[in-house]
């Protein structure tokens, strides 16, 4: 039932994005089928892509300091946990003072399975294969009286939202919380353009494969006939918007059928599909983002090798 609803939603979103006036789009949430999740794991190992290592380094280095600042009797929910590999240091620190109840929330069943397998030695792990807010509302409804909720939103996934949509999303998160609950937010920071372009267009071609895979997924799951060789991976950076964009550019005029979306769509030469926006932040912007969404920034840790910050935000 859930799988059919997802397939219909996928078909609907593909149809909406490819029939849009102006810039054609596909949502980056559809990158993460099993192949896409595996390619993303490979991206996180690339020398050019330091984001995930920076996130993990901060958590490894500051987990004790972070947990020392947190109220007692916590329940932990993670939005977009993936395999949860970065979360272990926090749970290990917490385990020293309480029983662990951890809710990883993700749309990738494969990632959740691995997360549960790898972290269940630390306590109770309750995987939730659903959207971030659906999952968070569920966790908030299940919490016991007197329990404080720690929400983890790591890896700069917040950067995929347009700036206003990011505030709206954090406001929706805030609505699930009580004053005193905590949000740990990972944000990738602005850095030299060359470094950013290399991170999203690595010479090995892993990110290009990750990007092209979204067309492969549409072929597999929606019975389409995209010729992946007739599209190329393109990355752009807009300085004033602090925004990386990933596109797939059509090499020639072509017509594509997406049967399960009841769609026939054509592409002219050099026309692109925008598949992802990754907004970057300035450390000082997080105070305001927090204020606008009902949080107070209590502590910020910045990595020394790759500009990335982990932000401890308390619900007010
Ligand atoms: C998982 C959204 C944080 O924006 O850097 C990596 C996804 N896209 N390479 C990011 C991604 C291309 C990643 N996030």
Rounded to the nearest angstrom, the distance between the alpha carbon of 157 and the centre of ligand 1 is 7
Confidence at residue 239, expressed as pLDDT on a 0 to 100 scale: 95
Average pLDDT over residues 258-265: 96
Which residue did the predictor score with more confidence, 280 or 114?
280
| 8 Å CB contact between 133 and 164 | no
pLDDT at 1 over 80: no
pLDDT tens digits along 12-65: 999 999 999 999 999 999 999 999 999 999 999 999 999 999 999 999 999 999
Q: Report how far residue 159's alpha carbon sits from residue 69's, in angstroms, rounded to the nearest whole number.
A: 26
Full-model pTM: 0.93
Rounded to the nearest angstrom, the distance between the alpha carbon of 193 and the centre of ligand 1 is 16
Taking the CB of residue 297, how many other CB atoms lie within 10 A of it? 18
Q: Which atom of ligand 1 lies closest to the CA of 40?
A: 6
pLDDT tens digits along 58-77: 999 999 999 999 999 999 99
Return the residue whose CA atom lies nearest to atom 8 of ligand 1: 200
Confidence at residue 2, expressed as pLDDT on a 0 to 100 scale: 59
Task: Quickly state the pLDDT bin for 107 (edges 50, 70, 90).
Answer: confident
Ligand 1 contacts CB of residue 200 (under 6 A): yes
Confidence at residue 5, expressed as pLDDT on a 0 to 100 scale: 75
Ligand 1 probe mutation, 46, 155, 190, most atoms within 8 A of CB: 155
Cα torsion angle, 114, 118, 121, 125, sign:
negative
Ligand 1 contacts CB of residue 54 (under 6 A): no
């Amino acid at each position: 039932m859930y799988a059919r609803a997802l397939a219909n939603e996928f078909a609907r979103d593909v149809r909406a994005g490819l029939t849009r006036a102006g810039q054609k789009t596909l949502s980056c949430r559809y990158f993460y089928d099993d192949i896409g999740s595996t390619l993303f794991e490979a991206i996180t190992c690339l020398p050019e892509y330091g984001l995930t290592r920076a996130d993990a380094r901060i958590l490894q280095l500051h987990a004790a300091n972070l947990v020392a600042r947190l109220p007692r009797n916590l329940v932990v929910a993670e939005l977009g946990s993936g395999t949860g590999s970065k979360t272990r240091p926090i749970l290990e620190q917490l385990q020293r003072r309480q029983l662990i109840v951890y809710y990883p929330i993700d749309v990738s069943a494969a990632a959740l399975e691995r997360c549960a397998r790898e972290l269940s030695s630390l306590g109770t792990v309750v995987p939730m294969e659903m959207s971030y807010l659906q999952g968070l509302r569920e966790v908030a409804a299940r919490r016991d009286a007197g329990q404080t909720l720690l929400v983890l939103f790591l890896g700069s996934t917040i950067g995929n939202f347009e700036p206003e949509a990011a505030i709206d999303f954090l406001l929706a998160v805030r609505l699930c919380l009580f004053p005193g609950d905590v949000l740990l937010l990972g944000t990738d920071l602005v850095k030299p353009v060359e470094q950013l372009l290399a991170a999203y267009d690595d010479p090995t071609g892993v990110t290009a494969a990750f990007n092209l895979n979204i067309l492969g997924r549409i072929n597999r799951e929606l019975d389409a006939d995209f010729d992946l060789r007739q599209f190329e991976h393109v990355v752009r950076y807009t300085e004033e918007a602090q925004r990386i964009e990933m596109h797939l550019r059509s090499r020639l005029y072509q017509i594509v059928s997406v049967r399960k979306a009841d769609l026939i769509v054509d592409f002219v030469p050099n026309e692109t599909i925008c598949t992802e926006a990754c907004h970057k932040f300035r450390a000082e912007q997080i105070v305001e983002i927090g204020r606008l969404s009902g949080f107070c920034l209590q502590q910020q840790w910045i990595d020394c090798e790759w500009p990335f910050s982990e932000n401890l935000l308390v619900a007010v």
